[in-house]
Amino acid sequence: MTTQVPASVSALRRWPARHPRAADLLLVCTLIGFDVLVWADHSTDDGLLRPALIVAQVTPLIWRRTHPWVALALVCAFSLIQGVTAPPDDHTGGLFVAFAGYAVARHARPPTSAAAIPLVAATLLVPDLIRPWLGIPPSTDPGWSATTLLLLLAVCAGAWSLGFAHRRTHLYAVRLRAEQERSTRRAVAAERARIARDLHDLIAHHVSVIAMQARSTAETLPGDPGLAVIGSSADTALTEMRRMVGLLTDEHDGPQPSLAHLDALTAPARAAGCPVEITVPDHLDAPDAVQVTAYRIIQESLTNVLKHAGATTVDLTLRQAPGNLTVTVINGPPSRPRPPAPPGSGLGLIGMRERTALFEGTLSAGRTPEGGWRVEATLTWQQP
């Protein structure tokens, strides 16, 4: 017996991903409410200072996705103020600092995000060290033993590791979706090619025979106009069938791709964390067929970047001269050591070479001295 998840529960699970800013705002309001309840439980005479510090400390978490380092810095700063001014037995501010450290690991690029570990630890440790200098009573346990320090660092490292694991899982999911879409497109293209071959093998031969016999008979019986019509109709049918075969072997279902759509082409790579720098001439007048080929080479190169290097820098350059167009895609090294990518079909580089050969061009692909990868294709055509 299978249990179906109610639609309302599924929609609730998807809501944070579809509305990230609203979800962050709800999280901030929840944390503020929690800390206000804790503050109300203590009999303090600090007026509105504590509620103001609560709001100031938690509000930066709204921008934890887009500006994680700024959010962490603000949370740590206000947490230090709270740690110095709050009652000795009040440590709720550490929760927000740990969460901000998690956000840096989740949304900032490693390995620099690991700097959040000592920053969070110092934020939690410093208040107890400076309270006596300011004439403020220390915490109930002012001694910091080696075991306590190691435990504090372990907690901070654990928060960072959790965020880093979630970041890696998200990047792997993005890569997997891109690979699945790529495999689906290839499967559709392979099926179309199979259908095209079947059409050619089963029909083209017979239609050609009909046309040939009609012409031969028309030469023998020149007075019969119907034979000429049969031959002409057979030629027309053969031409239309070849056009349909060409349609079935085309990989693209939407509008004709061109180099005017490079921003849309590079958008998935940017969404996966790759800063893409595009350099194109002011005016591109390459033939449409050349632009389609260049577009497909760039598309395949970006797919390989996501598959083998992950979130890294990408430089895309187009150079045009009379009668030729050069496409160069260079990506930086992986931002961190990566596990071996799943084996591909090997059709990507082969396909790029075949496309380049159609225009009597050249293609080179290989590693750069910095540890990245470079693909350069030059396509040529006859000038009018």
pLDDT at 146 over 80: no
pLDDT at 196 over 90: no
d(CA 66, CA 136): 37
Contacts (Cβ under 8 Å, ≥6 apart) of 77: none
pLDDT at 288 over 70: yes
Name the pLDDT band for 2 (thresholds 50, 70, 90).
very low
What structural domains and CATH numbers belong to the chain?
16-144 (no CATH), 257-384 (3.30.565.10)
pLDDT of 171 reads 85
Question: Does an H or E element contain 365, and which?
Answer: strand 362-367
- 237-257 tens-digit pLDDT: 666 666 556 555 554 444 567
Q: Which of 22-36, 88-102, 160-174 is predicted with the least confidence, judged by mean pLDDT?
A: 88-102
Name the pLDDT band for 89 (thresholds 50, 70, 90).
low
d(CA 63, CA 96): 14
pLDDT of 85 reads 76
Name the pLDDT band for 365 (thresholds 50, 70, 90).
very high
Name the pLDDT band for 328 (thresholds 50, 70, 90).
very high
Name the pLDDT band for 194 (thresholds 50, 70, 90).
low
Question: Rounded to the nearest 5°, which phi and psi values hold at 329?
Answer: -125, 115
pLDDT at 45 over 60: no
Question: Which of 35, 17, 136, 151 is CA-nearest to residue 88?
Answer: 136
Average pLDDT on 76-97 reads: 74
The string of DSSP letters for 113-165 reads: GGGHHHHHHHHHHHHHHHTGGGT----S-----HHHHHHHHHHHHHHHHHHHH
Q: In this predicted model, which residue has the larger pLDDT, 273 or 142?
A: 273
Q: Which of 26-40, 156-170, 200-214 is predicted with the least confidence, judged by mean pLDDT?
A: 200-214
Question: Which of 202, 97, 81 is CA-nearest to residue 159?
Answer: 97
Name the pLDDT band for 308 (thresholds 50, 70, 90).
confident
User: With contact defined as beta carbons under 8 Å apart, do 284 and 326 qualify?
Assistant: no
% of the chain beyond a pLDDT of 90: 15
Contacts (Cβ under 8 Å, ≥6 apart) of 277: 313, 314, 315, 316
pLDDT at 226 over 70: no
Residue type, 226: G
Average pLDDT, the chain: 77
Residue 233 half-sphere exposure toward CB, CA atoms < 13 A: 8
Q: Which of 47-56, 80-89, 268-277, 295-304 is predicted with the least confidence, judged by mean pLDDT?
A: 80-89
- Residue 340: asked if its preceding bond is cis (omega within 30°), the reply is no
Q: How far is CA 53 from CA 27, 67, 82, in A?
A: 17, 20, 7
Average pLDDT on 256-265 reads: 84
Name the pLDDT band for 202 (thresholds 50, 70, 90).
low
- The sheet carrying 276-279 orders its strands as 276-279, 314-321, 324-331, 373-380, 362-367
pLDDT of 11 reads 66
pLDDT at 110 over 70: yes
Name the pLDDT band for 376 (thresholds 50, 70, 90).
very high
Q: How far is CA 272 from CA 23, 171, 176, 262, 297, in A?
A: 21, 7, 11, 16, 19
pLDDT at 1 over 70: no
User: With contact defined as beta carbons under 8 Å apart, do 377 and 301 qualify?
Assistant: no
Q: How far is CA 82 from CA 26, 130, 279, 302, in A?
A: 23, 13, 49, 48
Average pLDDT on 334-347 reads: 54
pLDDT of 68 reads 92
Q: How many CB atoms lie within 10 A of CB 161?
A: 15
pLDDT of 255 reads 54
Q: Output the pTM of the full model.
A: 0.47
pLDDT at 174 over 80: yes
Residue type, 20: P
pLDDT of 64 reads 87
